[in-house]
Amino acid sequence: MRLPDTLRKISDFLQRLPGIGEKTANRLSLYLLRLPEEDLKEFAQNIAALKEKTQKCKICFSLSEEEICPICQDKDRDKGTILVVESPLDLLSFENGGIYKGVYHVLHGRIDPLNNIRPEDIYLKELIDRIKENEVKEVILATNPDMEGEATAMYIRDRIRELEKKVKITRLAYGLPIGASIEYADYMTLKKSIMGREEYK
Ligand SMILES: [Zn+2]
């Protein structure tokens, strides 16, 4: 038996998502069919508007529905401290813990020569410009503790040093095991890593 057209199209789409094979996709499509119609309509509307509504903050490149994200707009956040993360999901981990009161910079990637990702492919120049043009007292490098994350942190450190501005550069103290990722780290681990951050030499 073949699935009816619309169901099949939905299943085909789901199969494009990471970690979802044909059987799971079929099962999920059938599950959708059992949900209330209003819920599905709302979901469809959100999907349709996703690209149009979501943009990158002009300052920190986090995802937002406004030009400037709520964190960058927040007067109570310390604009002089910038926590640099690889992805919006890493930012979420810190925000969910409520353990950080500064602002962020989201790189949307990391330098990874093996996969052809160069410094100019991520929001690195924007970070350096931001430090150049604003009064920044500390940059906390919170890229992941693996080879690419480390290489990215070193690269950023060297570019900041070239500015010859008085900016403190720190790196998270990793109670995080090597290779672990910030996205999946629990609240206590992140809290410790940020409290115990050390000057990055
Ligand atoms: Zn922002």
pLDDT band at 188 (very low <50, low <70, confident <90, very high): confident
H, E, C per residue of 136-198: CCEEEECCCCCHHHHHHHHHHHHHHHHCCCCCEEEECCCCCCCCCCHHHCCHHHHHHHHHCCE
Domain boundaries in the chain? 5-53, 56-199
pLDDT band at 186 (very low <50, low <70, confident <90, very high): confident
What pLDDT was estimated at residue 63?
A: 97
Inform me whether the pLDDT recorded for 180 exceeds 70.
no
| Distance from the alpha carbon of residue 139 to the mean position of ligand 1, in angstroms | 15
78 contacts 53 by C-beta, under 8 angstroms:
no
Q: How far apart are CA 175 and CA 178, in angstroms?
A: 9
In the CATH hierarchy, which fold is given to the domain comprising 5-53?
Helicase, Ruva Protein; domain 3 (1.10.8)
| Distance from the alpha carbon of residue 187 to the mean position of ligand 1, in angstroms | 22
pLDDT tens-digit map of 92-122: 999 987 889 999 999 999 999 999 999 999 9
| Distance from the alpha carbon of residue 27 to the mean position of ligand 1, in angstroms | 38
Q: What is the pTM of this model?
A: 0.87
3-state percent breakdown (helix, strand, coil) of the chain, nearest 5: 50, 15, 35
pLDDT tens-digit map of 59-96: 999 999 999 999 999 999 999 999 999 999 999 999 98
Inform me whether the pLDDT recorded for 23 exceeds 90.
yes
| Distance from the alpha carbon of residue 104 to the mean position of ligand 1, in angstroms | 7
| Distance from the alpha carbon of residue 148 to the mean position of ligand 1, in angstroms | 24
What pLDDT was estimated at residue 176?
A: 61
Cα dihedral 157, 161, 162, 163 sign: positive
Map residue 101 onto helix, strand or coil: coil
198 contacts 171 by C-beta, under 8 angstroms:
yes
Share of the chain above pLDDT 70, in %: 97
Inform me whether the pLDDT recorded for 48 exceeds 80.
yes
What pLDDT was estimated at residue 90?
A: 94
pLDDT tens-digit map of 138-161: 999 999 988 899 999 999 999 999
| Distance from the alpha carbon of residue 57 to the mean position of ligand 1, in angstroms | 5
Spatial neighbors of 38 by CB under 8 A, at least 6 apart, are none
**What is the side-by-side strand order in the sheet with 102-106?**
102-106, 78-85, 138-141, 168-171, 198-199
Query: For residue 163, how many other CB atoms are within 10 A of its CB?
Result: 12
Map residue 79 onto helix, strand or coil: strand
In the CATH hierarchy, which fold is given to the domain comprising 56-199?
Dna Topoisomerase Vi A Subunit; Chain: A, domain 2 (3.40.1360)
